[in-house]
Structure 1
Amino acid sequence: MLLFLMLVLLMLPCCIVCGTSSINCSIYDDPFPIPHNFYQPGDFLIGGIAAQVAFLNNPPSFLEHPARMVVDEPGSVTKNYQHILAMAFAVKELNENPNFLTNISLGLYIINSYGLGRMTFKATLSVLSAQQRLVPNFSCDNRQKFIAVIGGRLSETSAQIGSILNIYNTPQLTFGSFSLAKDDKKQFPSIYQMVPGDTHQYRGVIKLFHHFRWTWIGLLAMDDDMGNQFLRRITPLLFENSICFSFIYKITKVTYIKDMSDFVIKQAEHYPLLMDKKLNKFLRKTLFNNSVGESIKFDQDGELVTVFDVTNWVTFSNGSFARVKVGRLDPQAPSENELTLEDDQIVWHRSFNQVLPISVCNDPCQPGFSKSKKEGEKFCCYDCTPCPEGMTSENNDMDACVECPDNRFPSERHHECLLKITTYLSYEETLGIIFLILAVSFSLVTSLLLGTFMKYKDTPIVKANNRSLTYILLLSLLLCFLSSLMFIGKPGKVTCLLRQTTFSLIFCVALSSVLAKTITVVLAFMATKPGSHMRRWVGKKLAYSIVLSGSLIQAVICTVWVCISPPFPQMNMHAQPREIILECNEGSALMFYSVLGYLVFLASVSFTVAFLARKLPGSFNEAKFITFSMLVFCSVWFSFLPTYLSSKGKSMVAVEIFSILSSAVALLGCIFFPKCYIILLRPEMNIREQIIRTM
């Protein structure tokens, strides 16, 4: 109360002092004055609205005569008497303290409102009038300067007082909660709350709920407008903060009689207004420290800006209790620091076994599960659904499962994301070692065959089928086996750029050599016929031209590929659920399949020519072997395409290596093994006479 009056003192310099001219008063006395009042004269007058005396109205029972019923029996509310004592004590202290007032005294005019709406309106009008007069804004006593009213413990009472005081722009200091919506508060610009608004308390309570993880609560409210207003304001806040209420229980109370606001407004139109706007403007800028060092100021809505204490009521077995401060709520602090609590200082009631109680609708969903709504239930009540394949939830009560980052995968329980391992077809794993052994082995075999043919280069069977083409074919097959090794190991920029182009060019040389050998065989047979003009086409120039032109076309395709969209290394995050595949992106799929298609085209032409020449004499029986080798070659690469497209990760690389090795082995085995058999095991057949005899 002393704080209220200090605020009023700060307003004194801004008050409008009326003139001292004499006024001839002819106002009749109030026919129904309020008997319970307290008046103390002073140079400046402060009004007070209290409810120390109340009327007890028994509701009609219709069982006895109305004359026998007790009507409007007064009763004393001793608890509210402290408000009157505090105000009187504060005025006394200020008047006796020379540091506050010099040659100025404060007066008091306290009137009882009896806790009734109609009496609150009458008390407010009486404060604004002269003593024993009921004419607001008119006083015969020019020595009394009325400056403010203190009163309103309940929102309803504050609104009733404020609806009259706002007409006269008279400041009103309330010592109770004034919980109105922001739009409603605009109707009461002269009300200043010395108790912080309910909004801060609501926010603090919600932060407490979050701190203790309570999401399932009950609501108690008065069964009146204030209770309904409380429910309207708290319900959306609870919903926004994911807190549900199990029930709403309304407590009934006696309703107040309809107020007289319309009457007061109409009466005020006939009297001049006290336009003390300077006073309200001054109050809104008030800032000082009270006797305990706390900063006192109002916000833009006229609410006191302060800090709340969080109090723990500790009860004892003998029924006594103690209040222990366990934290604070500072509405002006950042959101994360708004509430501070000392959990170790909190003492829970014996009914909770002195441990933190749990207040939830159901047990929280564990990691690996997500919340799913229960039909017909509040949103705080839910089922727990396991996360689907490929998704996870790492915390309790996740609203939805989420996908892991690209470099991680869900655990078996879907409760965490594990780091994927980076993998590629390496020389250390079994499959890589097998391919390495096969490639090296076939390369050695090819080298031995090349050495054998070079050693027996002057024998008829080597000379019969273009010795130079044989060397080119064997050398290209040797490089084909070695080129498969470029597909094993960690992909890099250079290896990705070279391995497809190198493999395709080498294989193109091998197939062009096979085609040249086949055409040479056909032309050589046709040239032996009398009068044939094909003899001039038989020779090394034609064979070399076929090899060169066939290889040049593939080289052009590879050059365009590298220039337009070259292959490059990439990390494939999605091919395998638990692995990151290091692989080569072919850049342009069209160019990749164009290269393979050209190889199949050369093989198909070679197969067709060799098939047509299969019935040539035995000394030229190589066409039969070429036919079979091309059939195997085409079968391998025709089956490669669907197998390659259906494979992922390292399997794609393995399929291509297998196709390279198997097709090269088909050429090597079908074309050269029969000749090696004759050279090494049947030398008697490797003589010119034998060849001429078979012809």
Structure 2
Amino acid sequence: MAEQSRPSRRCRPQLPEMEGQPHTALCARIDPSQIPYEYDKAGDVTIGAIVTQFACLLDEMSFTEDPKLMILNELYGKPKLYQHVLSLVFAVKEINDNHEILPNVSLGFQIYDSYINERMTYQNTLKLLSNQKGVVPNFQCDQQRNLISVIGGLYSEMSLQMATLLGIYKIPQIAYCVLAPVMNVKIHLPSFYRMIPNEEHQYRGIVHLLLHFQWTWVGLITADDENGEKFVQTLMSKLSQNGICTAFSEKTPAIARAIETLTSLESLRAKAISILSSDTKVYVVNASHHTTICLTWLIYLHSIFEGDTKFSIGKVWLMTAQWNFAADALHRAYDIQTFDGTLSFAIHSKEVLGFTQFLQSLHPHSSKGDGFLRIFWEQAFNCVFSDFYEIEGRTDACTGQEKLESLPGTLFEMNMLHAFLRSISFNNSAGDTVLFNENGELAAGYDIINWVTFPNQSFSKVKIGWMDPQAPQGKEFAINEEGVTWHHMFNQALPLAVCNDNCHPGYHRKTKEGQPFCCYDCVKCADGKISDLKDMDDCFKCPEDQFSDKNQDQCLPKRINFLSFSETLGMTLLFTSLSFSLVTVLVLAIFIKNKNTPIVKANNRDLTYSLLVSLLLCFLCSLLFIGQPQTVVCYLRQTSFGVVFSVAVSCVLAKTITVVLAFMATKPGSRMRKWVGKRLATSIVLSCSMIQASICAVWLCTAPPFPDLDMHSLTEEIIAECNEGSLTMFYCVLGYMGILATVSFTVAFLARKLPDSFNEAKFITFSMLVFCSVWFSFVPSYLSTKGKSVVAVEIFSILSSSAGLLVFIFSPKCYIIILRP
């Protein structure tokens, strides 16, 4: 269409002046049907498009004349979004130049603006469905367009407004809104296709990103509308399921209405303080158009009213894929370094070959039918065309020689982000396969972009990762942490976003009462438990063969605990046992050598030999308790000790009874003489010993001792021991031996003062007193000690009790034999 004349009236809204640039804007009250911002190209078939370039800020409804619109096309115009227009123009050019794609068919287009206004979106959609002269839908006219599809819109609300009309005619609509306009799109809007992956993938990507950097204390910022509410509800649920807490959830106000009326600046100031003064380090922003422009204004107002920009220090902005960084002319004067280090999601894209060269060929005087270009040119280069306006004091005229490549990226980029539909599945000119899923959504993932800004208002964006739902499980999310450039105030250190400091290994988290679950105290792990990672919910026990170190952050192997021959205690007990054995052998040799002396003959010489041999075996039995337990050793330890000791005590008992009977037999007329002799003594020894031997036999046949490892009694050691098998039988052996000792002690005590030249009763009394004292103290010691100490106590009891018998019974006799023969 021919370029239409533009109004000459200028007006200036009463807004706060930005540093270095006033908020001038072109305002026009015009008939909505005569709005000039469109672009068309004739063709055999036509693609329609509803783009977003300007905004209708105010509807004037006086009811005295036809409705008019007030249009502010500099403050609310978006030079950067003009690329959406050029992308379609370039795509159509590429298709028409390649005769293999649509042979003998030319492709045309008709582009209108939505003005971010419901009435204008509906009106221009109807214009696409009508002829080129007016809005007359449902009629076939001579100049009717052969419309095959429509592209749009940028926002979900706009897309739904278009789909309401286009769906009636089943005309395919290709939208690029990040959020779906309705639930179950394919059911309610069967002709609706979206060049955007499902937003569910973006939610998962946000969670993955926060978990990767261990950010568990984040703030949410969203618009105060239905989409914002849906975003908060959906994301907060996923965050809490993954252990991430929301420090706050703020809704941005209706900034356009506040700016228009200029009555809400104080409330905006309060909102800016509420959002930007938080100590939260990471902000997740639902970066819709309304949210980002409001957030930018809040930052700007905060810097004006509060007089500083310290609120931006140490902030990490995490933007959703709706974000089109610095898409507004507002960024001419705004310091974009506030957003330095920002992370955002973006639709996966590659550079389209030839697009940059196409942009370099653009000229404001050469484009035919483009109602957007000259307006874009004025906004981008901050100038006016003298042949297009009545200028009021403006000297900054456009020459037309300005170069697009000289514009900062905040205003215009030379690379395409979108490549458009040719079929349901195809390879675009960037080399990517474009495929729609069953819901009419692009089957693709999201790139993760790191935005690095510079003081000269330029920026670079670096792809640092991706969220690819088509990748194998476990490889859907990837990020190059080393490639991230954080806000310069972080000095390239990873920002922390936690309610409180991490719990180090050795501690576990304990939730603070009345606080979110991300706020917790750190509690030391209990004994025997460890935590080897940060922020563990609970400590866990070490395996049975390991124990926790003093820091309780790792498990160490337990040492094997047993009484070894090589250690000092083992060597001492070994030496003591062998020494007493040698002494016993010497005593036995002395008694054998002097067997015919009266002192040896007294009280049954054979009993003396038996007692000495049993004492020798008792001393040697202690050697079975030293060393790592084996099966045979465990069988012999307690049973051999019990039987041998019973023989020794039985000999002592027989000796005591012999003394008593010998005294009684000396009385005239006593009948005890027939009991005095070897037969009685032998019977006592054999009978008493056989009872103990029977007890041991039953023990070995029913529940014999066996080698065992005690993992729990000692914290840092595994006790290698002989499990007694049956404690009942063990205490039966000890109990029977105690009964014998008690009887022997009692008889000896009663006979200690009998008049006899060779009376052993008093010596036996002392020896049995020692014996009983040792073994009565053994039981509590045995029960209260663990590991090798138990073995040492038992060996000590064996040696001391045996030595008591040896010393107190035989030392007086050896003294007489050797020194007083």
Kept in 2: contact 1:158–1:178 (CA 8 A): no
Matched, 1:208 2:205: no
Indicate how the Cα distance of structure 1 residues 182 and 143 shifts in structure 2: closer, same or farther if over 3 A, else same. closer
Kept in 2: contact 1:46–1:109 (CA 8 A): yes
Indicate how the Cα distance of structure 1 residues 110 and 570 shifts in structure 2: closer, same or farther if over 3 A, else same. same
Indicate how the Cα distance of structure 1 residues 591 and 141 shifts in structure 2: closer, same or farther if over 3 A, else same. farther
Specify the SS of the correspondent of 1:249. strand
Indicate how the Cα distance of structure 1 residues 87 and 645 shifts in structure 2: closer, same or farther if over 3 A, else same. same
Matched, 1:323 2:461: yes
Give the corresponding residue for 2:803.
665
1:451, distance to aligned residue in structure 2 (A): 1.1
Give the corresponding residue for 1:299.
437
Kept in 1: contact 2:508–2:537 (CA 8 A): yes
Aligned counterpart in structure 1 of residue 69 of structure 2, from 64, 68, 72: 72
1:286, distance to aligned residue in structure 2 (A): 4.4
Following the alignment from structure 2 to structure 1, what is the Cα–Cα distance between the partners of residues 182 and 812?
Answer: 102
Following the alignment from structure 1 to structure 2, what is the Cα–Cα distance between the partners of residues 565 and 90?
Answer: 91
Matched, 1:578 2:716: yes
* Matches for 1:542-621 after TM superposition, within 5 Å: 542-619=680-757, 621=759
Give the corresponding residue for 2:562.
424
1:225, distance to aligned residue in structure 2 (A): 1.3
Aligned counterpart in structure 2 of residue 648 of structure 1, from 777, 781, 786: 786
1:320, distance to aligned residue in structure 2 (A): 1.7
Indicate how the Cα distance of structure 1 residues 349 and 70 shifts in structure 2: closer, same or farther if over 3 A, else same. farther
Question: Percentage identity across aligned positions?
Answer: 54
What's the CA shift string for 1:153-210, capped at 9, x where partnerless? 2122334444566677654321121247976775445533212233333333333334
Kept in 1: contact 2:160–2:181 (CA 8 A): no
Following the alignment from structure 2 to structure 1, what is the Cα–Cα distance between the partners of residues 719 and 181?
Answer: 64
Give the corresponding residue for 1:175.
176
Give the corresponding residue for 1:275.
none
Following the alignment from structure 1 to structure 2, what is the Cα–Cα distance between the partners of residues 38 and 319?
Answer: 31
Aligned counterpart in structure 1 of residue 599 of structure 2, from 449, 461, 468: 461
Following the alignment from structure 1 to structure 2, what is the Cα–Cα distance between the partners of residues 169 and 668?
Answer: 115
Specify the SS of the correspondent of 1:206. helix
What's the CA shift string for 1:437-463, capped at 9, x where partnerless? 221221122111111111121122222
What's the CA shift string for 1:422-443, capped at 9, x where partnerless? 3322223332232222212211
Give the corresponding residue for 1:473.
611
Kept in 2: contact 1:312–1:323 (CA 8 A): yes
* Matches for 1:265-304 after TM superposition, within 5 Å: 286-304=424-442
Indicate how the Cα distance of structure 1 residues 34 and 198 shifts in structure 2: closer, same or farther if over 3 A, else same. farther
Corresponding letter in the other structure for 2:747: V
Give the corresponding residue for 1:223.
224
What's the CA shift string for 1:611-646, capped at 9, x where partnerless? 444453324622333333323322221211111111
Kept in 2: contact 1:519–1:609 (CA 8 A): yes
Give the corresponding residue for 2:642.
504
**Which has the larger displacement, 158-167 or 412-421?**
158-167
1:339, distance to aligned residue in structure 2 (A): 3.9
Indicate how the Cα distance of structure 1 residues 417 and 600 shifts in structure 2: closer, same or farther if over 3 A, else same. same
Matched, 1:394 2:532: yes
Give the corresponding residue for 1:348.
486
Following the alignment from structure 1 to structure 2, what is the Cα–Cα distance between the partners of residues 320 and 184?
Answer: 39
Indicate how the Cα distance of structure 1 residues 515 and 129 shifts in structure 2: closer, same or farther if over 3 A, else same. farther
Corresponding letter in the other structure for 1:153: L
Give the corresponding residue for 1:242.
243
What's the CA shift string for 1:510-539, capped at 9, x where partnerless? 122222323333344444455555444443
Corresponding letter in the other structure for 1:518: T
1:146, distance to aligned residue in structure 2 (A): 5.9
Kept in 1: contact 2:507–2:536 (CA 8 A): yes
Following the alignment from structure 2 to structure 1, what is the Cα–Cα distance between the partners of residues 166 and 668?
Answer: 135
Following the alignment from structure 1 to structure 2, what is the Cα–Cα distance between the partners of residues 557 and 510?
Answer: 17
Unaligned 5+ segments in structure 2 are 1-31, 258-420
1:647, distance to aligned residue in structure 2 (A): 0.7
Indicate how the Cα distance of structure 1 residues 660 and 376 shifts in structure 2: closer, same or farther if over 3 A, else same. same
Matched, 1:483 2:621: yes
What's the CA shift string for 1:308-327, capped at 9, x where partnerless? 33333232232222233344
Give the corresponding residue for 1:434.
572
Corresponding letter in the other structure for 1:224: D
**Which has the larger displacement, 502-511 or 561-570?**
561-570
Aligned counterpart in structure 2 of residue 403 of structure 1, from 541, 560, 566: 541
Corresponding letter in the other structure for 1:239: S
Specify the SS of the correspondent of 2:581. helix
Following the alignment from structure 1 to structure 2, what is the Cα–Cα distance between the partners of residues 185 and 42?
Answer: 30
Following the alignment from structure 1 to structure 2, what is the Cα–Cα distance between the partners of residues 153 and 382?
Answer: 43
Corresponding letter in the other structure for 1:151: G
**Which has the larger displacement, 44-53 or 508-517?**
44-53
Give the corresponding residue for 2:264.
none
Aligned counterpart in structure 1 of residue 520 of structure 2, from 358, 382, 387: 382
1:598, distance to aligned residue in structure 2 (A): 1.6
Give the corresponding residue for 1:253.
254
Kept in 2: contact 1:224–1:255 (CA 8 A): no
Give the corresponding residue for 2:653.
515
**Which has the larger displacement, 523-532 or 626-635?**
523-532
Corresponding letter in the other structure for 2:176: F
Corresponding letter in the other structure for 1:156: E
1:359, distance to aligned residue in structure 2 (A): 3.5
Following the alignment from structure 1 to structure 2, what is the Cα–Cα distance between the partners of residues 219 and 59?
Answer: 35
Indicate how the Cα distance of structure 1 residues 546 and 298 shifts in structure 2: closer, same or farther if over 3 A, else same. farther
Following the alignment from structure 2 to structure 1, what is the Cα–Cα distance between the partners of residues 810 and 144?
Answer: 134
Give the corresponding residue for 2:197.
196
Specify the SS of the correspondent of 1:662. helix
What's the CA shift string for 1:354-399, capped at 9, x where partnerless? 5444444433333333333334444333333333444333333333
Following the alignment from structure 1 to structure 2, what is the Cα–Cα distance between the partners of residues 640 and 460?
Answer: 38
Indicate how the Cα distance of structure 1 residues 599 and 450 shifts in structure 2: closer, same or farther if over 3 A, else same. same
The number of equivalent residue pairs is: 621
Matched, 1:57 2:58: yes
1:469, distance to aligned residue in structure 2 (A): 1.4
Following the alignment from structure 2 to structure 1, what is the Cα–Cα distance between the partners of residues 739 and 167?
Answer: 99
Kept in 2: contact 1:56–1:71 (CA 8 A): no
Following the alignment from structure 2 to structure 1, what is the Cα–Cα distance between the partners of residues 424 and 721?
Answer: 73
**Which has the larger displacement, 486-495 or 345-354?**
345-354
Give the corresponding residue for 1:280.
none
Specify the SS of the correspondent of 2:207. helix
How well do the aligned residues superpose, as a CA RMSD in angstroms? 3.8
Specify the SS of the correspondent of 1:309. strand
Kept in 2: contact 1:43–1:143 (CA 8 A): no
1:576, distance to aligned residue in structure 2 (A): 2.4
Kept in 2: contact 1:34–1:111 (CA 8 A): no
Kept in 1: contact 2:131–2:145 (CA 8 A): no
Aligned counterpart in structure 1 of residue 773 of structure 2, from 610, 628, 635: 635
Specify the SS of the correspondent of 2:532. coil
Indicate how the Cα distance of structure 1 residues 187 and 500 shifts in structure 2: closer, same or farther if over 3 A, else same. farther
Following the alignment from structure 2 to structure 1, what is the Cα–Cα distance between the partners of residues 161 and 65?
Answer: 33
Following the alignment from structure 2 to structure 1, what is the Cα–Cα distance between the partners of residues 725 and 672?
Answer: 45
Specify the SS of the correspondent of 1:177. coil
1:213, distance to aligned residue in structure 2 (A): 3.7
1:108, distance to aligned residue in structure 2 (A): 5.0
**Alignment TM-score, normalising by the size of structure 2:** 0.67
**Which has the larger displacement, 499-508 or 168-177?**
168-177
Following the alignment from structure 2 to structure 1, what is the Cα–Cα distance between the partners of residues 218 and 186?
Answer: 30
Indicate how the Cα distance of structure 1 residues 382 and 115 shifts in structure 2: closer, same or farther if over 3 A, else same. same
